[in-house]
Amino acid sequence: MKNLYILVLSALILGYTTAYAQMPNDAIYMPKGVVCVGTMYTHSSWKEYWENTLKRENLNIGTHTTQSVMVMPAIGITNRFNVILSLPYVWTKTSAGNLMGQKGFQDLGGWLKVKAVDWKGFSLNGLVGISLPVSKYVPDFLPMSIGLQCRTASGRVLANYTHPKTGIYVTAHGTYMWRSNISVDRDAYQADDKVYNTNEVRVPNAYDMGARVGILKKQWQTEIWAERNSCVNGDNIRRNDMPFPTNNMQATMVGWYGKFQPKALGVNARIGYVTNGLNMGQSTSYTVGVLYMFGVKK
């Protein structure tokens, strides 16, 4: 009952699970005055999930599916300073049971990305991100909710080495994300075995780590990646209960990413698979996108 989280992580944390080029998780920069707009469709589904540590299926959910379309412009302010924005529209459904699917615009995200050190193929990059909900979607009807309603602020350090001749690269990053408390429609709820008599819910902060290996050429890119996303604390889903925004959600994911962009127009694709987790679904996801690059007159 909780896969939503794959989605939540992907959009709340902006690019956690979406490893596109000119993304918050690579060392690629749009040159000054160039904008690349990616429009991506993502399909993520799970049949089994981790209820606390218990891996199970749920016949009253069947397969849970989250889909989204996200528009994501990356803007070259300078050759070493980019701004990346994103806004996803998300919808959820299940193949069994009677939980009503939810849909809507989720959270508007923005990253500032700076290449701080650039030395013989090695670069060190700093990123600062924020995200803000743009609609009043319900955050605690999990796993059907499309997001958690948190406002977030993230700091990320990303290191990359690209072999200048072959284009072979290695990237590693680490992120810490602060998440705001949220308000829910009810004025009492249970978390940590305690009833809180308020509509305010504490959502745990989160961190992630990622590593990628690939080849980057002028017109194409291919990469394999692994990521670990985790809350820093939180409670667990109780036996046979629904998930809740206070849950300590964790996932380890592996996947592949590729891009082909001969000219202004390009395409990208990504697949991801959760190998291990806590309080969330074991999802398989794929993304396909169209990239369009254009110059902006100064």
Partner 1 sequence: MKPYSTFIKYSTALLTLAVIVIACNKDLEEPQRVGYTPVAVDEKAGTWKTYVLASSDEIEVAAPLAVTSSEYTAELSALKGLASNLSQEQKEAVVYWGAGAAYRWNEIARELCARYNIPPASNAEGKYPLPDAANPLADPKFPFANPPYASRALAYLSVAQYDALVSAWHYKYKYKRSAPSKVDTSIPVALPVSALPAYPSEDAVVAAASVTILKAMFPGEVPYLDAKMKEHLASRQWAGMNVTSDLTAGTSLGNAVAAKVMGKARNDGMGASNNQTLVAAMIESAKTRGIKDPWISQEAPLRPPMLPNFGAVQTWNFDKATMVKIRPAIPYVVGSAEWQKDMDELKQIQNKQTREQARIANYWADGAGSYTPPGHWHRAAANAAHEARFSEVRMARTLALVGTAEMDAGIACWDAKYFYYTPRPQQFGLKTSVGLPNFPSYTSGHSTFSAAAATVLGYLFPEQAAKFDAQALEASVSRIYGLIHYRVDCEMGLKHGEVIGEYAIARGKADGSGL
Q: Which residues contact 105 (CB under 8 A, 6 or more apart)?
A: 87, 88, 89, 90, 134, 135
User: CB of 283: closest distance to partner 1 in angstroms?
Assistant: 22
Bridge partner residues of 114 (DSSP): 81, 126
- Return d(Cα 66, Cα 50) in angstroms, integer: 17
User: CB of 264: closest distance to partner 1 in angstroms?
Assistant: 28
* Sequential DSSP letters for 149-211: ---EEEEEEEEEEE-TTT-EEEEEEEEEEEE--EE-SSS-EEETTEEE-SSEEPPPPEEEEEE
- Nearer to partner 1 by Cβ, of 62 and 167: the residue is 62
- Nearer to partner 1 by Cβ, of 60 and 275: the residue is 60
- Nearer to partner 1 by Cβ, of 101 and 167: the residue is 101
- Return d(Cα 134, Cα 136) in angstroms, integer: 7
- Nearer to partner 1 by Cβ, of 139 and 289: the residue is 139
User: CB of 2: closest distance to partner 1 in angstroms?
Assistant: 14
User: CB of 180: closest distance to partner 1 in angstroms?
Assistant: 4
User: CB of 289: closest distance to partner 1 in angstroms?
Assistant: 27
State the residues that interact with partner 1 by CB under 8 A.
Answer: 59-60, 78, 80-81, 96-101, 112, 114-117, 126-128, 130, 132, 136, 138, 140-141, 150-155, 178-181, 184-190, 193-198, 200-202, 205, 238-242, 244
- Nearer to partner 1 by Cβ, of 196 and 286: the residue is 196
Longest pairwise C-alpha distance within the chain: 62
- Cis preceding linkage at 143, omega within 30: yes
